[in-house]
Structure 1
Amino acid sequence: MIGPIADGPVDVHAHWLPAELFGLPPGAPFGPLRDSGGELYLGEVPLSIPTRAMSDVPAILADTAAAGLGVRVLSAPPFAFPVAGPAAEYVDAFNTALAEVVASADAALAGLGLVSLDDDAVATAQLKRLAAQPGIAGVAIPPLLGGESLDRGGLRHVLGESARLGLSVLVHPMQLPRPEWRDHYLANLLGNPVETATAVGALLLGGVLDQLPDLRICFVHGGGCTPGVLGRWDHGWHTRADVRRDSSRPPGEAVRALWFDTVTHDPELLHLLTTRVGEHAVVCGSDHPFDMAQPDPVGFATAAGLDVATLAANARAFLGAGS
């Protein structure tokens, strides 16, 4: 139940995790988080960000104001997604803490909660609680889970329940390791865009939007590879029966019912994204506080020709927010 949020530009893609949850969900493949001299580490890997930037709410609010934003929407960092088994206690603790932070921020913060991904009944109960929580717009989820994506399994269940309950869904990649991406940060530089495009493709070609026309869903990092491969997807849809068997519209048409954020690191790519999905489908994002974040999300978007008022209206539409 998001309710009204503050005026001004809205950043739909920013991360927060309270220090008491740095241990991460049971079985988390990367954790735990730890502080070392004020810097944040994931296990033994330095994240190149100050610890307080992830966990300190006054620091986040100060950065929000300095970036010229009216509202920042907080979600858990992707390594806190409960992808390795039962984690209901962790999920509930995060959602409770997030609701408290949002409630104390005078409409300058909104939230996207976590949800258990191993048990559909538990997930439904958690989503119902999120839907009743002031200041919480919806849920953040990974694009892939156990070899499946958004068109089947636990992730598809979360989408269906979110649409039924009027919750927004933010899809954030996990930076999953692959041996060919072990060097040069390629698990992020290539992995994140590929994971996201995989989820977009599964959603569009899997007919999920035909089944859930009221679903509000946003993909970060400009949809990853999606803008560059939509033409290929359309060609496949028109020429192959197996590509189009589950969907009623070509991907290039259906994609305009989704939202995508502006974190593309390239004005030309942002222009291509806007051309392909429509200006109504683009929302401002930052990826705060990570090293791959866009430090001036509003300036980057406006320099690429996007209008601040339109971006803000788009974000409010995605979040289901009042004025």
Structure 2
Amino acid sequence: MGGAEKGVPGTFMSGCTCRGIDVHCHVVPAHFPARANGLTVRGWPSMMAADACHATVVINDKPYRTVSDACWVAKRRLGDMDRTGIRVQALSPMPELFGYWIETNSACDLVRYVNDTIAAIVAEGEGRFVGLGGLPLQDVDLANLELHRIVGELGFRGVEIGSNINGVPIGDSRFQPFFAEAEKLNAAVFVHAVRPTGMERLLGPAPLQQVLGYPTDVGLAAASVITGGLLQKFPKLRIAFSHGGGTFASLLPRLEKGYSAFPALNEIMMESAAVQARRLYVDSLVFDADILRHLVAVFGEERVLLGTDYPFDFREKEPVARIEEAFADASLRERLTFANARAFLGLDEV
């Protein structure tokens, strides 16, 4: 992967004494280009100014989310990082910018534009940002072309993908050529919830998609990796799941019992779910010290990563303090705040 030249961190040059590495941080561009020849593309985003420091993402002529300029201004991020003990952020697209549901050629243009925006922020970041780009995974061949570009040309440390691609679970065999390339390129894969299943079962306002729908979909995505045999096919793949792996830690005992109870499940999994789970990474974004301790017990001390969902309002605002609340052991705190993410992202020196 990329070396330590400006904008492609390998050795971090900043004098910051913070130690945290945040693997779950999002970018939204300050604006989006119009489509060529004035074409209207369903799902293509635009930005509408809200005030001097905020703008609203508009999709299909409807407001989607109002965000702050911390989404695109490097200096804003750096100040917040210093205040919360974060040395490095891994920058990834806001999930609604994956574009899986957009016409393929337009989706490729959108993904490339967002990735180039991330690269520009990385270059402005004084060695304190790394990139996790998006891919047009509705077309795996085109996704692999963009994967090679962002790793080989932009120096990104990996990619962010959705928990499903237009309703298809990530463990489905059609995505194996992508995972093969990610493993080959030593690219980290961070799985984030997007357009979750089961929304019709939620009673209440739209934010319940993030509150309840996201962790449900992430849990099913992690389960699909296990039942789809992905880790057997790609044993060197580094894959992490947002929101603490969602519901997966609660689903795991049932998968483990099913592995012994149902011959058909035993046959497709080939290895116990509990053993496979300890090859996954999850972030720490669960908002609760007891659940955070449970994640460490389930996935292992080397598999939980600091994550915040910065810079959105529904985020962990004191991530290092949360880890310190949950764990007294200094060496474990160091792993959870720093060392595990360094290994996941493949960083040589921080």
Question: Which amino acid is 1:92 matched to?
Answer: R
Q: Which moved more, 1:136-145 or 1:152-161?
A: 152-161
Question: Which amino acid is 1:117 matched to?
Answer: L
TM-score, length of structure 1 as denominator length? 0.92
Measure, in 2, the Cα distance between the counterparts of 1:63 and 1:155: 36
Determine if the alignment matches structure 1 residue 226 to structure 2 residue 248. Answer: yes
Percent of matched pairs sharing the same residue:
27
Length, aligned pairs only: 321
Measure, in 1, the Cα distance between the counterparts of 2:188 and 2:261: 33
Q: CA deviation at 1:53?
A: 2.1
Cross-structure match for 2:274: 252
Change (3 A) 1:300 1:125: same
Measure, in 2, the Cα distance between the counterparts of 1:260 and 1:22: 34
Cross-structure match for 2:19: 8
CA contact (8 A) 2:24 2:308 kept: yes
Change (3 A) 1:135 1:109: farther
Instruction: Map 1:125-274 to 2 at 5 A.
Output: 125-133=145-153, 135-152=155-172, 155-176=175-196, 178-181=199-202, 183-184=204-205, 185-274=207-296
Change (3 A) 1:267 1:122: same
Cross-structure match for 1:114: 134
Cross-structure match for 1:279: 301
Secondary structure in 2 aligned to 1:110?
A: strand
CA contact (8 A) 1:117 1:154 kept: no
Change (3 A) 1:33 1:192: farther
Q: CA deviation at 1:48?
A: 6.0
Secondary structure in 1 aligned to 2:117?
A: helix
Question: Deviations for 1:230-257, whole angstroms, at most 9, x for unmatched residues?
Answer: 1111011111122232222111110111
Secondary structure in 1 aligned to 2:158?
A: strand
Instruction: Report the RMSD for the aligned CA atoms in angstroms.
Output: 2.3
Measure, in 2, the Cα distance between the counterparts of 1:229 and 1:100: 40
Measure, in 2, the Cα distance between the counterparts of 1:215 and 1:165: 10
Larger Rg: 2
Report 1 or 2 for greater relative contact order, CA contacts < 8 Å, sequence distance ≥ 6.
Answer: 1
Change (3 A) 1:61 1:2: farther
Query: Which of the residues 60, 77, 81 maps onto 2:94?
Result: 77
Measure, in 2, the Cα distance between the counterparts of 1:175 and 1:303: 32
Structure 2, gaps ≥5 residues long: 4-9, 13-17
Q: CA deviation at 1:164?
A: 1.6
Cross-structure match for 1:296: 318
TM-score, length of structure 2 as denominator length? 0.85
Q: Which moved more, 1:303-312 or 1:138-147?
A: 303-312
Measure, in 1, the Cα distance between the counterparts of 2:319 and 2:151: 28
Measure, in 2, the Cα distance between the counterparts of 1:58 and 1:221: 26
Q: CA deviation at 1:150?
A: 1.5
Q: CA deviation at 1:310?
A: 1.1
Change (3 A) 1:149 1:26: farther
Structure 1, gaps ≥5 residues long: none
Q: CA deviation at 1:115?
A: 0.8
Measure, in 2, the Cα distance between the counterparts of 1:203 and 1:54: 31
Q: CA deviation at 1:120?
A: 2.0
Measure, in 1, the Cα distance between the counterparts of 2:226 and 2:92: 24
